[in-house]
């Protein structure tokens, strides 16, 4: 703590006290031979008093010596450090330090505690051995205290889980039979897989003192999985202790690191697992690149996402019409059941394919599946060929129609023989065939080979030298079951059996779901493809996750990844991060779907003692010494006044009272930050003049950095657009706190509703209500695309809005009706989109308003406007004037109309209902003509 911030009030108090004493001396009759404090002798001469100082009494001399001592000590800045640790001097100090992901947020406190131990070892001239539990390699050999401190300063937390057994083994081996005096274990508080063996190793070292140190902070939570469902992304999290209820927030970031969606994450009391859902259109969810717990700066609170997370759109074309009466007889039924959990399906049939193919392709599917579609028309064939070569994936299933088709089909990965091979037919097996192990280049590689899947009928591929290179799955007799080939930028895949159980029991097994999922996931170049069309066996590290939860381009120390498909969990060779290239990558995370956390149990460490890290902190005595010196100086001054008779007459006593009060106030300044804060909270005349001179749009500060940043940038973007399109030139937007700030300066206040933000105080709600009663308008934006009113199922943001409005007497509301002033205040509008387009814009209903409700303050302007379309998200721009967030769906025209909506709302606020008066213009003109 610096001395200058306390020295300034010290000098200020002196400047108040010394002139006051001089003034009092002027009022005091001269009395010879009185005691005068040396600095006051100068004041006496200035006051033209002829006095001869007398000898000071001993107690006054002692007081002045104490004053001088306090000043000297304050300049020396003494510090009290209660954390000084004593060590056993019977041997070297051995330090085992957790530096995994859970230690990232308190790493400074952890290293400070280790540094104090090393400093104590240095004072005792003891060697130090140092080992870190998350490092791949280490050198725990005994070193001097200075070298140990250098190694500690160079150490960093790692985005990995601690592995304590190798570190403890290396630490004990480095002692080489020497009995340590103290073994200190700086733990992160979470258990590991081999803790018992590691603790047995430390117990066997025979140390005189076994010290366990850890912080008392709450253990961090971790994200374990993110699933992209049909309507929402489902996020699961785990914590180590099933304690009280805890409310967190998860953010979804895009590739540029921008927050594009949020959701509350709630651990109920007594539970160790929690789930959250982010409901958004799948086009928005496909932009998710990273999910993270808001405010958590560790790698466990992050889930990286790759192309496998993106929800694909799949077009399903069946060769036979749907059988609604008996759906189990239709191949399309099994495909829909397998694909619907992770893909958006577009259904059609072969009979209408020529008419509907253009419409299907316009919807940009990643995969088109043809189930038992035989001969394709020339136009259909050409259009599908062009789509595949442009990057699409065409998956075909065999069946009676495909088996009986004749002629060469270039939309098949391999050439087929005429007819089908069947159990008991002309080209029959002696028994139904099971699956063979999947080849390494197959996307199915890594799946266990099922022994209960058999095939009784299939179409056969013509033998070819390169047939094995195009085979992803085969039967035990070697005949291909799934083949593929590359066509342009796309891919052709053929299942040589049907999609229903008539030819095989594969469609009614879980392997069918997993095989289709992997094929869909590798569509759109989510994996690198080599020249032969097979998946690249190894993926180079592209970006690695660091301990604080961010991505780094430093990929040293990571080995290439053998991607076997499915969720990948980090290892020492493959730390968490992205593997591949900018064209396509695979995500490796610290925790998988089955990940759990447990608190550390150190009871196995025999005779250990616990010591918290950072429980007490060092603090400076300088402010206290300066305050004591100030009080002694004031006491000395008043003692001198009393000894010189300053209070002997009534006039002097009356004059002394304000001087005493001023001196006490000056002495209290260092300890009165609240007074200074109150003064600073008042607006200056310049600030008031600026708000009166320019029109400023305002937004309510929610306390959430991302929400407030988008609100500020959104109103800034709208203000710039208004300046460009109209004669109005608004100033910069202002963030306001309705509980503290004066709101009368702003014609419109934008309030983004966030369920994860603190509930507004009653003072804030009262301030908003008073603002609305006095003619202001508040634009509430739930930012969830749903109608905030009139629905039974509401989002968390809408529920929060309802809780806020429950405390305000709002008028009856209605969607903006046709002909409302908002539809023509500047632009002619029939809809009011923002970043989303789907929520109506609610305003005050123009009939039935009760007298005791908040109603328009004048000129017919609604005091409240409600939307769910996220206006600020559409208006927000970066400093280079590029949009911060995409519209949903991505559309420059929608963004343009969002800006026009903002202009109409601002003009509506500033000009009122003058546009409504235009209905009288013809009558007025006619009267003027008369």
Which of 619, 620, 618, 625 has the alpha carbon at shortest distance from 7?
A: 625
Question: Residue 576 has what pLDDT?
Answer: 93
| Banded pLDDT at 354 (limits 50, 70, 90) | confident
Q: What would the pLDDT profile of 27-65 be if each residue is shown by its tens digit?
A: 555 554 444 545 555 555 545 444 445 566 878 888 888
Ramachandran class of 229: left when φ > 0, alpha when ψ lies in -120 to 50, beta otherwise: beta
Higher pLDDT, 650 or 468: 468
State the maximum Cα–Cα separation within the chain, in Å, rounded to a whole number: 139
Backbone angles phi, psi at 676, to 5 degrees: -65, -40
Of 82-86, 649-653, 870-874, the least confident: 649-653
Taking residues 481-510, report their average pLDDT: 89
Alpha helices in 477-583 (DSSP H): 510-521
The yes-or-no verdict on residue 266 having pLDDT over 90 is: yes
| Banded pLDDT at 882 (limits 50, 70, 90) | confident
CB-based contacts of 249: which residues, under 8 Å, 6+ apart? 262, 263, 264, 265, 293, 294, 295, 704, 756
The yes-or-no verdict on residue 234 having pLDDT over 60 is: yes
Q: What is the pTM of this model?
A: 0.51
Q: For the chain, how are helix, strand and coil distributed in percent, rounded to 5?
A: 35, 20, 45
Question: Residue 703 has what pLDDT?
Answer: 86
Dihedral angle computed from the Cα positions of residues 701, 706, 709 and 715, in that order, rounded to the nearest 10 degrees: -80
The yes-or-no verdict on residue 430 having pLDDT over 50 is: yes
Of 499-503, 681-685, 799-803, 828-832, the least confident: 681-685
The yes-or-no verdict on residue 391 having pLDDT over 80 is: yes
Taking residues 853-866, report their average pLDDT: 68
Taking residues 590-602, report their average pLDDT: 90
Taking residues 356-361, report their average pLDDT: 81
CA distance 266 to 271: 10
Taking residues 92-99, report their average pLDDT: 92
The pLDDT > 70 percentage for the chain reads 77
The yes-or-no verdict on residue 915 having pLDDT over 80 is: no
Q: What would the pLDDT profile of 115-133 be if each residue is shown by its tens digit?
A: 888 988 888 899 999 999 9
Return mean pLDDT, the chain: 79
Question: Residue 847 has what pLDDT?
Answer: 57
Question: Which residue has 């510090």 as its token pair?
Answer: 79
Taking residues 705-726, report their average pLDDT: 92
Bridge partners, residue 227, by sequence: 234
CB-based contacts of 755: which residues, under 8 Å, 6+ apart? 264, 795, 796, 797, 799, 800
User: Cα–Cα–Cα angle for 96, 101, 105, nearest 5°?
Assistant: 95
Question: Residue 607 has what pLDDT?
Answer: 81
Taking residues 623-637, report their average pLDDT: 82
Residue 915 near residue 907 (C-beta atoms within 8 A): no
CA distance 280 to 285: 6
Question: Residue 898 has what pLDDT?
Answer: 94
Residue 630 near residue 667 (C-beta atoms within 8 A): yes
Dihedral angle computed from the Cα positions of residues 501, 502, 503 and 509, in that order, rounded to the nearest 10 degrees: 10
CA distance 551 to 599: 28
For 334-390, the three-class secondary structure string (H helix, E strand, C coil) is HHHHHHCCCEEEEEEEHHHHHHHHHHHHHCCCCEEEEECCCCCCHHHHHHHHHHHHC
Tokens of 578: 């992205």
CB burial class (10 A; 0-12, 13-18, 19+) of residue 198? buried
Strand order in the sheet with 209-215: 128-132, 93-97, 182-186, 209-215, 608-613
Question: Residue 799 has what pLDDT?
Answer: 84
| Banded pLDDT at 416 (limits 50, 70, 90) | confident
Q: Indicate the SS3 state at residue 4.
A: helix
Q: 659-682 as b/e, with b when 16 or more CB fall inside 10 Å?
A: beeebeebbebbeeeeeeeeeeee
CA distance 564 to 567: 9
Tokens of 471: 């085979």
Taking residues 562-588, report their average pLDDT: 80
Per-range mean pLDDT, top range of 88-97, 341-350, 400-409: 88-97
Per-range mean pLDDT, top range of 358-372, 498-512, 893-907: 893-907
Question: Residue 222 has what pLDDT?
Answer: 95
Taking residues 172-191, report their average pLDDT: 90
The yes-or-no verdict on residue 788 having pLDDT over 50 is: no
Question: Residue 439 has what pLDDT?
Answer: 87
Cβ atoms within 10 Å of 465's Cβ, excluding its own: 6
Domains of the chain: 4-78+621-675 (no CATH), 93-203+610-617 (3.40.50.410), 220-310+546-598 (no CATH), 312-521 (3.40.50.880), 685-917 (3.40.50.12140)
Higher pLDDT, 712 or 537: 712
Q: What would the pLDDT profile of 681-703 be if each residue is shown by its tens digit?
A: 455 566 676 677 788 999 999 98
CA distances from 884 to 496, 715, 881, 926 (A): 48, 13, 9, 51
């Amino acid at each position: 703590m610096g001395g200058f911030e306390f020295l300034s009030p010290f000098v200020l108090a002196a400047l108040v006290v010394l002139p006051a004493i001089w003034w009092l001396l002027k009022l005091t009759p001269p009395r010879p031979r009185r005691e005068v404090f040396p600095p006051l002798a100068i004041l006496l001469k200035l006051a033209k008093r002829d006095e001869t100082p007398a000898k000071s009494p001993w107690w006054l001399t002692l007081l002045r010596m104490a004053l001088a001592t306090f000043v000297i000590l304050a300049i020396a800045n003494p510090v009290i450090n209660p954390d000084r640790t004593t060590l056993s001097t019977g041997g070297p100090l051995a330090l085992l330090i957790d530096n995994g992901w859970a230690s990232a947020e308190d790493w400074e406190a952890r290293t400070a505690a280790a540094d104090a131990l090393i400093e104590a070892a240095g004072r005792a001239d003891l060697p130090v051995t140092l080992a870190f539990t998350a490092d791949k390699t280490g050198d725990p050999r005994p070193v001097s205290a200075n070298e140990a401190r250098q190694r500690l300063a160079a150490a960093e937390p790692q985005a990995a889980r601690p592995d304590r057994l190798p570190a403890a083994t290396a630490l004990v081996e480095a002692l080489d039979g020497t009995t340590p005096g103290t073994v200190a274990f700086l733990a992160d508080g979470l258990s590991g897989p081999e803790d018992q063996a590691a603790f047995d190793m430390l117990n066997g070292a025979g140390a005189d003192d076994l010290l366990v140190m850890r912080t008392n902070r709450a253990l961090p939570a971790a994200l374990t999985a993110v699933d992209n469902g049909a309507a929402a992304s489902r996020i699961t999290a785990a914590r180590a202790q099933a304690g009280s209820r805890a409310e967190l927030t998860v953010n979804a970031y895009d590739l540029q690191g921008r927050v594009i969606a949020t959701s509350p994450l709630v651990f109920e009391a007594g539970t160790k697992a929690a789930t959250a859902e982010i409901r958004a259109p799948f086009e928005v969810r496909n932009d998710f690149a990273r999910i993270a717990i808001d405010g958590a700066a560790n790698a466990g609170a992050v889930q990286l996402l790759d192309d496998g997370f993106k929800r694909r759109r799949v077009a399903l074309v069946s060769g036979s019409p749907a059988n609604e009466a008996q759906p189990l007889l239709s191949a399309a039924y099994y495909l829909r059941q397998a694909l619907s959990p992770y893909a958006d399906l577009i259904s059609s049939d072969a009979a209408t394919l020529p008419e509907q193919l253009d419409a299907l392709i316009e919807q940009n599917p990643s995969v088109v599946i043809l189930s038992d579609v035989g001969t394709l028309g020339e136009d259909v064939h050409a259009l599908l060929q062009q789509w595949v070569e442009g990057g699409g994936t065409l998956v075909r299933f065999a069946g009676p129609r495909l088996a009986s088709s004749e002629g060469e089909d270039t939309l098949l990965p391999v050439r087929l023989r005429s007819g089908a091979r069947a159990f008991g037919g002309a080209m029959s097996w002696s028994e139904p065939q099971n699956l063979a192990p999947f080849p390494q280049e197959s996307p199915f590689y890594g799946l266990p080979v099922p022994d209960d899947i058999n095939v009784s009928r299939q179409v056969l591929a013509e033998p070819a030298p390169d047939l094995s290179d195009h085979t992803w799955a085969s039967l035990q007799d070697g005949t291909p079951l799934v083949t593929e080939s590359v066509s342009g930028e796309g891919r052709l895949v053929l299942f040589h059996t049907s999609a229903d159980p008539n030819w095989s029991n594969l469609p009614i097994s879980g392997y069918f779901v997993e095989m289709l999922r992997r094929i869909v996931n590798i569509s759109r170049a989510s994996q690198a493809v080599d020249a032969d069309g097979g998946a690249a066996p190894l993926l180079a590290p592209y970006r690695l996750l660091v301990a604080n939860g961010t991505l780094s381009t430093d990929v040293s120390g990571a080995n290439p990844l053998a991607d076997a498909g499915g969720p990948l969990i980090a290892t020492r060779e493959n730390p968490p991060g992205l593997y591949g290239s900018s064209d396509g990558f695979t995500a490796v995370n610290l925790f998988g779907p089955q990940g759990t956390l447990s608190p550390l149990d150190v009871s196995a460490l025999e005779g250990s003692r616990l010591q918290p890290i950072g429980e007490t902190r060092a603090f400076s005595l300088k402010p206290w010494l300066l305050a004591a010196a100030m009080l002694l100086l004031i006491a000395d001054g008043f003692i001198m006044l009393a000894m010189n008779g300053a209070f002997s007459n009534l006039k002097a006593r009356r004059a002394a009272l304000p001087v005493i009060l001023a001196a006490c106030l000056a002495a209290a300044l260092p300890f009165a930050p609240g007074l200074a804060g109150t003064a600073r909270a008042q607006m200056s005349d310049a600030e008031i003049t600026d708000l009166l001179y320019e029109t400023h749009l305002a937004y309510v500060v929610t306390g959430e950095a991302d929400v407030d940043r988008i609100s500020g940038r959104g109103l800034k973007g709208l203000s710039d657009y208004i300046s460009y399109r109209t004669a109005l030139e608004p100033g910069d937007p202002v963030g306001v706190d309705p509980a503290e700030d004066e709101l009368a300066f702003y014609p419109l206040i934008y309030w983004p509703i966030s369920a994860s933000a603190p509930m507004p105080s009653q003072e804030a709600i009262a301030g908003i209500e008073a603002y609305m009663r006095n003619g202001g308008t508040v634009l509430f934006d739930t930012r969830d695309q749903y109608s905030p009113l009139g629905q039974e199922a509401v989002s968390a943001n809408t529920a929060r809005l309802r809780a806020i409005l429950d405390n305000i007497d709002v008028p009856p509301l209605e969607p903006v009706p046709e002909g409302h002033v908002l539809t023509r205040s500047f632009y002619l509008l029939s809809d009011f989109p923002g970043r989303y387009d789907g929520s109506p814009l609610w305003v005050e209903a123009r009939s039935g308003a009760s007298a005791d409700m908040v109603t328009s303050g004048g000129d017919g302007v609604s005091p409240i406007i409600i939307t769910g379309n996220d206006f600020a998200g559409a208006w927000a721009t970066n400093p280079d004037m590029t949009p911060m967030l995409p519209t949903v769906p991505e559309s420059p025209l929608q963004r343009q109309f969002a800006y026009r909506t903002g202009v109409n709302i601002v003009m509506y606020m500033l000009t009122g209902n003058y546009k409504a008066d235009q209905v009288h213009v013809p009558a007025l003109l006619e009267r003027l003509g008369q």
